[in-house]
Copies of this chain bind each other. A is one copy, B any other.
Amino acid sequence: MTGNDTTDRLPAKLEAALAFDDRGLVPAVAQQHDSGEVLMMAWMNRAAIAETLATGRVCYWSRSRERLWRKGERSGQVQQLVELCVDCDGDTLLLKVDQTGVACHTGRRSCFFRSWHDGRLDETQTVEVDPAKLYGEDG
């Protein structure tokens, strides 16, 4: 699969196991396969899942941009798929991945870098990469 070729077709056994929502999406949790760190949550449609399985590189569906979002396409912070897991109801995916660099657009390793303690949100991770370097100075 190259360029903009996409397909909405999933293998029949996978299609049968999945319960997409009324927008044709399922939430997908990305976890670093060896450390167990939860990196992010994003959404996938059939085309994103099909591309991810075909290429081994994780592709989501961007709800805000309404297009396929090949994770790391601008920042280089790609995710290689190690394992795709389906939950009991088929309405959530767990992607065990190997994350290059940082998962979060803020330059932190994980998007879950804020923790609620004693009435305030504390930041629990530092910025590892300057976002300006990830995305260029044009934002």
List A residues at the B interface (Cβ < 8 Å): 11, 13-14, 17, 27, 29, 31, 35-38, 40-41, 53, 83-89, 92, 94, 104-106, 108, 111-117, 119-121, 124
Nearest CB of chain B from residue A89's CB, rounded to whole Å = 8
- With a cutoff of 8 Å between Cβ atoms, the chain B residues found around residue A84 in the complex are 115-116
- Are B124 and A87 neighbours in the complex by a CB distance under 8 Å? no
- With a cutoff of 8 Å between Cβ atoms, the chain B residues found around residue A86 in the complex are 112, 114-116, 121
Nearest CB of chain B from residue A39's CB, rounded to whole Å = 10
Q: How far is the CA of A41 from the CA of B116 in the complex (A)?
A: 19
- With a cutoff of 8 Å between Cβ atoms, the chain B residues found around residue A116 in the complex are 14, 53, 83-86
Nearest CB of chain B from residue A46's CB, rounded to whole Å = 14
